[in-house]
Amino acid sequence: MGQTQASISDTNNIGAEYEQHKHQKGGFRLRDELSNLKSDLDALMTRTSSISEKEGREAREKIISRFNSAKSAMKEFASDTNQQVHEGVEQASDYVQKRPVQSVLLAAVVGLALGALLRRG
């Protein structure tokens, strides 16, 4: 029985690590996409007076494409974050349902600690 619980715990830890890595990867993608968009806009701004109409259209299309990529990355990041928050709320709810006394005691200790910190400030 102990081995089964340990393997379930290991499986949960692996799943949590994967989700954390996926979330970090989404954040890095978003940062990279926004950085690319900024670079393209900076390059366009420095060349604005010397580009042809055709180059202007191409630059506009490239910037729109970068913007769409950044928007997609932002939606993915927001979705991943929303999913993680939802899972955290579910886990907290499960913990409170399984261990109501410990939950109340923990909340009281946290409340007392926060109260003491706020009184100092």
The string of pLDDT tens digits covering residues 8-22 is 444 455 555 555 555
Burial code (b: 16+ CB inside 10 Å, e: under 16) for 106-121 equals eeeeeeeeeeeeeeee
The crossing angle, in degrees rounded to 10, of helices 53-98 and 100-120 is 120
pLDDT higher than threshold 50 for residue 43: yes
Place of tokens 């970068």: 66
85's CB contacts (< 8 A; 6+ apart) are: none
Place of tokens 């409170």: 96
pTM: predicted TM-score of the whole model, two decimal places: 0.53
CA–CA dist 40, 102 (Å, integer): 54
What are the pLDDT digits (tens) for 83-110?
999 999 999 999 999 999 999 999 999 9
Residues 2-10, mean pLDDT to the nearest whole number: 47
